[in-house]
Amino acid sequence: MGSAPHVFISLGANVGDREANLLAARRGLEARGFRVTAMSSLYLTEPVDAPPQEWFLNAVAGGETALSPEALLQACLETEREMGRVRDVPRGPRTIDLDLLLYASEVRDAPGLVLPHPRMHERRFVLVPLAEIAPAARHPILGLTAAEMLRRCPDRSQVMLPERSRPR
């Protein structure tokens, strides 16, 4: 049995074959040094704070890495680029969106990298899958677990399990 995941990355897609995109992103992260030890179900989620667009498939991957937070962020950005992520419309449709949520108990506030993710505690599409795989994962600033943040989350957007939701 491996150690508990201490790094969590949110995965989301609403363009193309969403499930295939999430699985390809997982493989891309693993190829760049992020060892996935836990993967949530895939959730169908409505877009939040975004222009009208297709619903997303979202998941959270937990794992371990020898990469620094900065290097892991670069691995996320490289994976997005490799998969054709275009950032022409703010919060617009995307083939893949990878967000570094938690990196152990690290707290950072630097240009391009804020840890923990500054809005994770306000987003059900992040908290539902995070609480599924790591309900005791603790936010290093708020001091709340993923399960506690989910219970307190003001977001009421829809997050549901589609018929086939377990990643292969």
Helices 18-31 and 69-82 pack at an angle, to 10 degrees, of 140
Residue 165: the pLDDT is 52
| From 35, 81, 87, 97, active-site residue | 97
Q: What is the pTM of this model?
A: 0.92
Residue 168: the pLDDT is 46
DSSP 122-150: G-HHHHHHHHHH-TT-B-TTT--BHHHHH
Q: Catalytic residue at 99?
A: yes
| From 18, 26, 94, 123, active-site residue | 94
Q: Catalytic residue at 94?
A: yes
Kindly list the structural domains of the chain, giving each domain's residue range(s) and its CATH number in brackets, ordered by start: 7-160 (3.30.70.560)
Residue 5: the pLDDT is 60
Residue 166: the pLDDT is 53
Residue 51: the pLDDT is 81
Please report which helix (H) or strand (E) contains residue 45, including its range.
strand 43-45
Q: Catalytic residue at 109?
A: no
76-111: string of b/e by CB count within 10 Å (b at 16+)? beebbeebebeeeeeeebbbbbbbbbbbeeeeeeee
Residue 49: the pLDDT is 85
Residue 1: the pLDDT is 41
| DSSP H helical ranges for the chain | 18-31, 69-82, 124-133, 146-152
| From 32, 35, 99, 138, active-site residue | 99
Mean pLDDT per block of 10 residues along the chain (168 residues) reads 74 96 98 97 92 93 96 96 83 91 96 96 98 97 98 95 63
Residue 85: the pLDDT is 86
Residues found in the chain: 168
Residue 12: the pLDDT is 97
**Token pair for 53:** 């667009």
